[in-house]
Amino acid sequence: MKILVVELARLGDIYQSWPALRALRRRHPDAQIDVITRPRFQAAFDGLEVVDRRRIFNTQELMGPLFAANMDVKASFDLVSRVLGEIKFEKYDWIINLSFSPLSSYITHAVAAESTRVSGYTRTSDGFLAIPDDLSAYFYAQVGFDRPNRFHLAEIFATMMEMDLIETDWTAPQGLITHSAAPPVLIHIGASEAKKQIGASKWATIINQLTKISDVRIGLIGSAAETENADSILNSVPADRVQNYVGKTNLTELFSLIAGAKLVVGPDSAPMHMASLVRTPCLNLSFHSVNFWETGPRAPGSYVLRGADESDFASDKVAHAIHLFFTGEKQDISLI
């Protein structure tokens, strides 16, 4: 059996699909399981032993001729046709589209043969959106901002594959080496979207409050894009208490740090979903614009603090919540 999984979303969604992909392998141990992903995010499949092959869909390369000084529609069309034709030639038995996006639905339709079973968004022969399965219909109606969904994305992905998740589906990347000297607290200072991000001054205030009540070591994590924010934070906190990893780790090294930490603090984004896989508890600072039921942390012992914006997260209360993870005292549920 040949199975193709379309996953064009960002790092966080890919990591949330890991348990479902492992479950799919349990059901079909001898199948060929391939994925379509973007070049920017394909490293999120490193260490996921159940994927046989990655097919890279490079939108910038394929659409490049359309945006050149001398626009060449035919060249772009030929490039897209060649890439999709090569995938269709594989004659996949089952295509599972986990991206729920217009682009992914067109790709799914283009690479499916007449006999291919399709789960997830696709297209009709005249280009209209087609929803071939019950779970995709549920997603269309119930999932997303300001919708009433209460199922986690990891379970939604698994249900699309007709699987129930088990504990062993939530495991670390193959060959992961835990960072034995990782700071007990890792703070992710960035976010995949601006609406999820907490400012540098707020993080500095939280850290200063924490250092007053705890001697726990703290590490900052984030991408190179957050380097300026990291520098701003470091200029405002005790230098001997905070170690800076922002922009200094690849995804494998970040996984190692998270596996060695005792707590990850931050918004709903990739490091929190990585923590779920290595079972590191999280303190998720979640804005009302994000549905934590869908994409919140799944590691045992995790908590979610909710607020309309960062002003709702009182710095002393966040610091106290972090401190309680290390004292063993119960969290004040009224804060959650």
Over the stretch 269-286, which tens digit does the pLDDT of each residue have?
Answer: 999 999 999 999 999 999
Contacts of 265 (CB under 8 A, 6+ apart): 185, 186, 187, 188, 282, 283, 285, 318, 322
How much is the pTM?
Answer: 0.93
Residue 333 has pLDDT above 60, yes or no: no
Judge contact between 189 and 217, C-beta under 8 A.
Answer: no
* Nearest alpha carbon to residue 118 among 102, 127, 126, 130: 130
Over the stretch 177-198, which tens digit does the pLDDT of each residue have?
Answer: 999 999 999 999 988 777 778 9
Cα distance between residue 207 and residue 189, in whole Å: 12
- What is the per-residue pLDDT for 145? 64
Residue 335 has pLDDT above 60, yes or no: no
Amino acid symbol at 170:
W
Element (H, E) at 265: strand 263-266
Cα distance between residue 187 and residue 216, in whole Å: 12
Cα distance between residue 103 and residue 80, in whole Å: 12
| 329 DSSP 8-state letter | P
- What is the per-residue pLDDT for 72? 83
Per-residue confidence band for 8, with pLDDT thresholds at 50, 70 and 90 = very high
Residue 37 has pLDDT above 80, yes or no: yes
Residue 204 has pLDDT above 80, yes or no: yes
Cα distance between residue 125 and residue 123, in whole Å: 7
Q: Which residues of 72-105 are buried (b: 16+ CB within 10 A; e: fewer)?
A: eeeebeebbeebbeebeeeebbbbbbbbbeeebb
Q: Stretch 21-48: mean pLDDT, rounded? A: 97
Report the residue count for the chain: 336
Q: Stretch 234-249: mean pLDDT, rounded? A: 96
Tokens of 199: 């400012």
- What is the per-residue pLDDT for 64? 82
- What is the per-residue pLDDT for 256? 98
- What is the per-residue pLDDT for 195? 73
- What is the per-residue pLDDT for 205? 98
Q: How many CB atoms lie within 10 A of CB 232?
A: 16
Tokens of 122: 């696709």
Whole-number average pLDDT of the chain: 93
Q: For the chain, what percent of residues have pLDDT higher than 70?
A: 98
- Domains of the chain with bracketed CATH: 2-169 (3.40.50.2000), 185-330 (3.40.50.2000)
Over the stretch 112-127, which tens digit does the pLDDT of each residue have?
Answer: 999 999 999 999 999 9
Tell me phi and psi for residue 259, to 5 degrees.
-65, -30
Q: Stretch 217-245: mean pLDDT, rounded? A: 96
- What is the per-residue pLDDT for 332? 67
Q: How deeply is 9 buried, as exposed, middle or buried, from its count of CB atoms within 10 A (0-12, 13-18, 19+)?
A: buried
Cα distance between residue 102 and residue 303, in whole Å: 34
Judge contact between 36 and 4, C-beta under 8 A.
Answer: yes
- What is the per-residue pLDDT for 68? 81
Q: Stretch 30-58: mean pLDDT, rounded? A: 97
Q: Stretch 142-169: mean pLDDT, rounded? A: 91
Higher pLDDT, 30 or 334: 30
Dihedral (CA of 87, 89, 92, 95) sign:
positive
Per-residue confidence band for 336, with pLDDT thresholds at 50, 70 and 90 = very low
Higher pLDDT, 230 or 332: 230
Q: For the chain, what percent of residues have pLDDT higher than 90?
A: 84
